[in-house]
Chains A and B, each alone.
Chain A
Amino acid sequence: MSGGGTSRSPAAGGSYLGGALRIAGKDLRLEMRRLTGLTSMLVLAIAIVLAFAFCFGLPTLRRLGPERLVPGVLWISLLFSSLSGLRGAFASERERETLTALVLCPIDPSAIYLGKLFSNLVVVGTLEAILLPLTAVLFGWDLASALPAVALVVFLHTLGFVALGTLFSAMVTRLRQGEALLAILMLPLSVPLIISAGKATAVAIALAPLTEVRFWLGLTAAFDALTLAASLLLFGFLVEE
């Protein structure tokens, strides 16, 4: 078929990275207005941290030390609370078929994935910025001294987890039982990441050199790179019928 005469169509759309950043900006603006995603994540995460803190009590904390307790508490709360946030990443685009509108824009569909990844990273990062000081206060570890190492460890593991979650969120969004399926798909595949996160966070909190967990950090970096590359390659197929 052929187009008509008087119109003037651009030869190509906006830039790839610009497109991804605009999608992230749009998602964050919507999140700031609703606050439903971040609020529910925060409530769940804080509830988990508080429950653990009061269950362990001071004697356990003194006996084991924060480096033995905090990694588990931190990553369990982050894992479960961010799962609830990741579920909404694509579900909101189904409401008015806006995902179709995004696919119709003349930018490679993987830019949609990248945009969603950026916005999810900002939301989960905000959650982490609140949880880290909270665990420092409740479990008595030195956040100021450990911050550079902890930030690196948390970022590396969050990137892999959110990259995987964003991809699976797109996969299950059309399915009726999508929410349950997201957890079923995500948790087994995140096992290497969870083990690595626990070990590396313990080392960072103990103010020990990160070279002690070189293997785990290398594994996580490889996991992140592989997940990102696979997601960018596969995303176009996920949004096409």
Chain B
Amino acid sequence: MLDGLSLEIAAGTSLSLLGPNGAGKTTLLRILATLARPTSGRVEVNGLDARGRDQIAIRARIGVISHQTFLYDGLTARENLLFFARQYGVPDARGRAEGLLREFGLWERRDDRVGTFSRGMQQRLTIARAILHEPEILFLDEPFTGLDPAASRLLRALFERLRGSGRTLVMTTHSVAEGLALGDRWAILAGGVLADGGACRELTPAALEARYFEVLETAHGSAPAGARA
């Protein structure tokens, strides 16, 4: 649950949302992505009202990546991308889908069903699906969850590339080091409130980790069990 949260994310920046389980990170992301409706308050994405009539216009401008693939296992890689490209009204959907399959190293497996792909390949296709319509804003909900080291490294490289393309990125993560490495700015959510935030370049991973646990101790009286593990 979120309470009294006020947050502004500037265009082209990459924000890492840190916080323990139940802090409200995913809820915030789902509200920003128009998947959930807040009970009160105002939410604007690109100046559009995320709570009402502008939802469809917002959806055309955002992409969402989660630890779930959002892909149909029974369809091939090409069929998945073509289906979503057409749903988004992408001009030359076939060309765009095939271009992305080449770009993400999946061209050789384009006509294989996604259910036969490794986790890393599925994650690459997930990212390709999310950027099919060239969204201005990308929401990433704990995208590294369940990935093996090789797939994590690949995703990190892709994340850096997306950052370089001038998109606005909002990523939730449990990992302080990951948040600091991949973000321009960081924010800590604890107990549904925005507890702290700042620029990533101003802190070392050790300093941010210290701040993180300090915030959690203030919010909960003590750090959650196993939080330092």
Interface residues, chain A, CB within 8 Å of chain B? 1-15, 18-19, 22, 26, 29-30, 33-34, 95-98, 100-108, 240-241
Contacts and interface: CB of A to CB of B under 8 A. Distances in A.
B90 A10 contact: yes
B130 to A, nearest CB: 9
Interface centre among B37, B71, B88 (most CB of A within 10 A): B88
A97 B68 contact: yes
Contact of A3 (B59, B66, B74, B136): B136
Given A3-B61, A13-B88, A105-B84, A96 B136 contact: no
A10 B36 contact: no
Interface in B55-86: 56-57, 59-62, 64, 66, 68-75, 79, 83-84, 86
Contacts of B118: none
Contacts of B44: 1
B89 A12 contact: yes
Contacts of A33: 74
Interface stretch (B9-17, B144-152, B213-221): B9-17
Nearest to B70: A101
Given A2-B47, A106-B60, 10 more contacts: A3-B136, A7-B134, A14-B88, A29-B75, A97-B66, A98-B70, A100-B66, A103-B35, A104-B62, A105-B84
A132 B10 CA distance: 63
Contact of B59 (A22, A26, A104, A240): A104
A13 B60 contact: yes
Contact of B87 (A1, A22, A95, A241): A22
Contact of A14 (B7, B37, B73, B87): B87
Chain B interface SS verdict (over half) = loop
A98 to B, nearest CB: 6
Contacts of B128: none
Interface centre among B10, B32, B71, B84 (most CB of A within 10 A): B84
B56 A7 contact: no
A12 B35 contact: no
Contacts of A12: 56-57, 60, 89
B60 A5 contact: no
Nearest to A34: B74
Contacts of B47: 2
24 contacts: A1-B9, A1-B137, A2-B47, A3-B137, A4-B12, A6-B167, A7-B167, A10-B88, A11-B57, A11-B60, A12-B56, A14-B88, A22-B83, A96-B69, A97-B66, A97-B68, A101-B71, A101-B129, A104-B64, A105-B88, A106-B59, A107-B87, A241-B30, A241-B37
Contacts of A34: 74
Contact of A7 (B34, B37, B135): B135
Contacts of A9: 60-61, 133-136
Closest A-B pairs by Cβ, 7 of them: A3-B136, A2-B11, A101-B70, A106-B60, A241-B36, A1-B9, A97-B68
Nearest to A18: B86
B101 interface: no
B46 interface: yes
